[in-house]
Structure 1
């Protein structure tokens, strides 16, 4: 099981907008890849995905066996089975995943937020699920309005979706921007701030490891970011349409929620009953 630093640092990178269009465009041109992604997958009978080491419950690589797990891996296995192809997993990082898609090193990447900068260089599916924003604190904040006061200090990892959301929703609060999400957690632990903004998967994970931080609340009205699948940007829409059909089928079969919660319990020790009813999945 991964430690808190590697997990939070890795997943916080999921929310940060790091794409640089000109660099990625030049890298993609260098590959000379013109075959549509769906055609390549069907021709090779192989689905290539990227996975991030030390990012449970999203991704998890067993150090002894080398086997990959996590709910994104389970989703990838389901998609590969629906296409009747084998799954090929390439280790990457949250930061490099956009470049891997842009250069056609991989066919898709599960767990990516469609920021405007990323949309310039890669494509996106419909949302796989919504990741609600929460507050970790010793004091309960029932609404975002309760947080939107100058005397309330809120820690975030700078440039992340946490930062973007709280800046928009609570402009009057004192927002303490730190380099990484685990730096924000340390600020909360040492009493430098009153609360930390985190998506619920991160919040429950860090509280399982360090209950003394306080508790997680879901301030109202609900604020959430989407978790999508990143794909190569191409004129042929067959690939993204194929994945969207799979997402619809998974949702209709009721598979999204149990896949996420099952891995959360297995890899992080968070039980389904620990997840508040307000959390959408």
Structure 2
């Protein structure tokens, strides 16, 4: 497996950032119409959103204040290749688009592309594909999405996320509890107030690994999922979005994205052997 340290010099787009840095002159950088790229080049900081309890995607150590997770390391590697510092701004998955629009962050990884969201921000190319699963309470064995599409099935999701949107479409007749965060949705399942929690497979595997009493991972059929992308602010100048697209495409083709994802799974005691059958990384 290719490790991040082996690829650190391979991505090597810092020279590109330096070359294009001429776009950010000292005069234009200070104007009210400063673009995202100009602001990053002027301040030498790339701001990304981080969800403190979003392991294995992003997570923050409360004792040390250090961030981890593959979206953190992806953003950090991008910043290094731009020759700038990464600054993490705490957010929630459901608030990230508003934070982009409010100019609190420059890029948010881990966002699933939906037509509605695409009206508000620009999406990058796909970082990776992700399958949607459920954690079902012990004793409940749904096989298909239709098995959960009835009022007797109680589904917990974190509000405003892709989990919420997809469940609302696939199981409109279920009793859906929309909670403020992923952790609150998990607590609703643990407490017996829900029969399943819907989320993407990485989060589901980690949750069950930490607490086997919570339930078991089910891949409902037919299999559905979404692309995991990054979002950037909508603006006329597309320099930053185009750079992000080039960087993501290059890093994915070189195996860096996959390497960082696998490392993040290992950090929460998961291996590729834990991935359910039918789900590819």
TM over 0.5: yes
Q: Are the aligned partners of 2:89 and 2:105 in contact in 1 as well (CA < 8 Å)?
A: no
RMSD: 2.8
Instruction: Give 1:254's aligned residue.
Output: 255
Does 1:269 find its partner at 2:247? no
Instruction: Give 1:24's aligned residue.
Output: none
Q: Are the aligned partners of 1:49 and 1:106 in contact in 2 as well (CA < 8 Å)?
A: yes
Instruction: Give 1:4's aligned residue.
Output: none
Does 1:215 find its partner at 2:216? yes
Cα deviation, 1:132-173, whole Å, max 9, x if unaligned, reads: 21011133333223333555443334444323212322334x
Instruction: Give 1:92's aligned residue.
Output: 90
In structure 2, the residue corresponding to 1:76 is in which secondary structure? Answer: helix
In structure 2, the residue corresponding to 1:78 is in which secondary structure? Answer: helix
State the 4+ residue runs in structure 1 displaced beyond 6 angstroms: none
Q: Are the aligned partners of 1:51 and 1:89 in contact in 2 as well (CA < 8 Å)?
A: no
Change (3 A) 1:40 1:98: same
**CA–CA distance in structure 1, aligned partners of residues 86 and 162 of structure 2:** 30
Q: Are the aligned partners of 1:53 and 1:91 in contact in 2 as well (CA < 8 Å)?
A: no
TM-score norm. by structure 2 comes to 0.75
Which structure 2 segments of 5+ residues have no match? Answer: 1-29
TM-score norm. by structure 1 comes to 0.75
**Superposed displacement of residue 250, structure 1:** 1.4
**CA–CA distance in structure 2, aligned partners of residues 102 and 195 of structure 1:** 33
In structure 1, the residue corresponding to 2:110 is in which secondary structure? Answer: strand
Q: Are the aligned partners of 1:156 and 1:184 in contact in 2 as well (CA < 8 Å)?
A: yes
**CA–CA distance in structure 2, aligned partners of residues 185 and 69 of structure 1:** 21
Instruction: Give 1:34's aligned residue.
Output: 33
**Superposed displacement of residue 198, structure 1:** 1.7
Q: Relative to structure 2, which stretch is displaced further, 240-249 or 32-41?
A: 32-41
In structure 2, the residue corresponding to 1:140 is in which secondary structure? Answer: coil
Change (3 A) 1:153 1:58: closer
Which structure 1 segments of 5+ residues have no match? Answer: 1-30
